């Protein structure tokens, strides 16, 4: 009887036991950080393994997209909270980078709009218009805050 050919392992985990329960930890960390490399590290896997899983498993891809949407929501809420409370410094005393936060929100609005539309059966155009309104509102608050800071000096 011929022996079944074993699947050859490649990469860093070659010959090592692989943590099969990393997906939940990865998705949770991805939702918190919106950073694949950090999420993979926290889950104890290589980012290449996460990307491969995303390519090969449609359900994991969907959960990945949902985690990124959640991360987008976290960032949006963080920016709004900081503006409302006047919290302009990070925990290490540096000035919070509102401009970068707005660039990230703007850069990912299309993918977030698609995911939200699929989840809620709304059109992509409706969701994108909603996101555009929110981003513009945040941008206007940042500009107003910067003008107010300029007048105080």
What are residue 147's phi and psi, to 5 degrees? -65, -40
Report pLDDT for 76. 87
* Residue 34 three-state SS: coil
pLDDT digits 0-9 by tens, 47-88: 999 999 999 999 999 899 889 888 888 888 888 898 888 888
pTM over 0.75: no
pLDDT bucket at 13, cuts 50 / 70 / 90? low
pLDDT at residue number 107:
80
Q: Please give the share of the chain, as a percent, with pLDDT higher than 90.
A: 27
Contact 68, 108 (CB under 8 A): yes
Mean per-residue pLDDT for 89-105? 87
Task: Note the pLDDT of residue 125.
Answer: 75
2: number of Cβ within 10 Å: 4
Angle subtended by helix axes 109-120 and 98-107, to nearest 10: 50
Q: From CA 118, how far away is CA 138, in angstroms rounded?
A: 25
3-state secondary structure 36-47: HHHHHHHHCCCH
When pLDDT is averaged across residues 87-108 and rounded to a whole number, the result is: 86
Q: What tokens appear for 54 in the block? A: 């995303």
């Amino acid at each position: 009887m011929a022996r079944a050919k074993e699947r050859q392992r490649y990469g860093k985990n070659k010959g090592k036991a692989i943590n099969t329960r990393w997906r939940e930890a990865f998705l949770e960390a991805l939702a918190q950080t919106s950073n694949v490399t950090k999420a993979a590290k926290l889950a104890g896997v290589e980012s290449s393994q996460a990307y491969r899983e995303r390519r090969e498993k449609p359900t994991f891809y969907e959960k990945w997209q949902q985690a990124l949407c959640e991360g987008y929501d976290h960032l949006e809420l963080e920016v709004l909270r900081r503006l409302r409370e006047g919290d302009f410094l990070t925990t290490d005393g540096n000035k919070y980078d509102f401009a970068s936060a707005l660039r990230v929100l703007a850069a990912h609005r299309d993918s977030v709009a698609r995911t939200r539309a699929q989840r809620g059966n709304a059109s992509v155009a409706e969701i994108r218009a909603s996101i555009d309104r929110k981003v513009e509102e945040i941008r206007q608050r940042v500009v107003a805050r910067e003008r107010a800071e300029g007048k105080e000096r």
